[in-house]
Structure 1
């Protein structure tokens, strides 16, 4: 898929974000209270810090409050940039991780030829951010990540294993739309977008709140193929 193909596909898709950012604006700090244990996310972050050179530039895509990933990467001495669609999450992240730079942005704005250009990165982290997109958009988002990475750049991501597409769920007193894949399908989508999967982990996770059911979390550590 060429850069012009990605731009044309985004124009045709016209992404719908209605209600998504507003839910997280309202949730704020309660997100970290509901998901206090992030072993899988921290482990993938440790893999990233061990694989990158000091001073590497890293994008935290869908950074949320900045905890733990932006903080973990900034503490490791990397040049961290975080983006999130939620204004409140960006505000919280700026307070928790002053060493990083945060922007209120939609991933679609960073597409090849899109309205915002943050430059290129040695690594991208996308923990539970792609699941906020409809399945039709996820391959475009992955190609955008590929575009944002330098040749051979690293990509760590997580998804919840589920066969759903733009499915409405109750979440911390609000309603959000989520998508997911079964394990083999997720691998196929990632590899088709131009990534080599070099490590895979999974965790059964029970959030610390009643209206969010237990989930199977999948973490993939990848490298951009050129």
Structure 2
């Protein structure tokens, strides 16, 4: 990806290696790889939120998929609709799968929370941002700042499609597809307050009860917020 005349070839800048917390999360998802899509084969909420974006944005609009995973379904769905998608992912294994699954998109290997601080992306670079179960991977103390950063990356009035699991937890280790990952979550009312405090208007909410295909992953209540930069 090019930004400000520089080209980023898919590496975290050497002066800013991932923290121990983030590196552990990335290592787990490297090992999980495409088993993630096997455990979550049906992503109706994610596809519906992506459909809101494709219906709201003209072709050629710039979209950031924060925590793009394997690129399926979001990068693929948005790219097929003629949107210019940049996927950001810290796990090299997931990023390799995304490049294979949707080769026409742009990708950046980076810590989501460092995109502005490290100058990898510029404020106002995107018409929309998706963050599907990405903030889930951060401790709560980092989530307000991450939301504020995503807001800065948007043009005025830009759109945010956010997916979270409803749970009153903070940086809790859980078994996930044979590995341990740390997750955070909010009850839906608290999530609304968090998003509006970060400078977004919540346009719509959808929720889905979801039972993953893998018995190693418990059922969950997924919340999707359709938001606009206020």
Change (3 A) 1:105 1:127: same
Within the candidate set 65, 73, 88, 1:68 is matched to 73
Number of positions where the alignment pairs a residue of Structure 1 with one of Structure 2: 211
- Aligned partners of 2:110, 2:68: CA distance in 1, in Å? 11
Q: Provide the residue aligned with 1:158 in structure 2.
A: 163
Kept in 2, the 8 Å contact 1:146–1:224? The answer is yes
Q: Provide the residue aligned with 2:13 in structure 1.
A: none
- Aligned partners of 2:213, 2:155: CA distance in 1, in Å? 38
Q: Provide the residue aligned with 2:197 in structure 1.
A: 192
- Aligned partners of 1:28, 1:213: CA distance in 2, in Å? 19
Q: Provide the residue aligned with 1:177 in structure 2.
A: 182
Within the candidate set 93, 103, 106, 1:101 is matched to 106
Q: Provide the residue aligned with 2:118 in structure 1.
A: 114
TM-score, normalised to structure 2, is 0.89
* Deviation, structure 1 residue 99: 1.4
- Aligned partners of 1:118, 1:129: CA distance in 2, in Å? 20
- Aligned partners of 1:97, 1:133: CA distance in 2, in Å? 26
Residue 25 of structure 1 aligns to a residue in which SS? helix
1:167 aligns with 2:172: yes
Q: Provide the residue aligned with 1:89 in structure 2.
A: 94
For structure 1, list consecutive stretches of 5 or more residues without a partner in the other structure.
1-13
Residue 179 of structure 1 aligns to a residue in which SS? strand
For structure 2, list consecutive stretches of 5 or more residues without a partner in the other structure.
1-18
* Deviation, structure 1 residue 23: 0.4
Query: Cα deviations across residues 146-191 of structure 1 (Å, max 9, x unaligned)?
Result: 0100010000010000000000000000000000000100000000
* Deviation, structure 1 residue 18: 3.8
Aligned-pair RMSD on alpha carbons?
Answer: 1.2
* Deviation, structure 1 residue 118: 5.2
Q: How does 1:15-164 map to 2 (within 5 A)?
A: 16-111=21-116, 113-117=117-121, 120-164=125-169
Kept in 2, the 8 Å contact 1:157–1:220? The answer is yes
Residue 124 of structure 1 aligns to a residue in which SS? strand
TM-score, normalised to structure 1, is 0.91
1:210 aligns with 2:212: no
Kept in 2, the 8 Å contact 1:108–1:114? The answer is no
- Aligned partners of 1:132, 1:22: CA distance in 2, in Å? 13
* Deviation, structure 1 residue 104: 0.9
- Aligned partners of 1:65, 1:77: CA distance in 2, in Å? 19
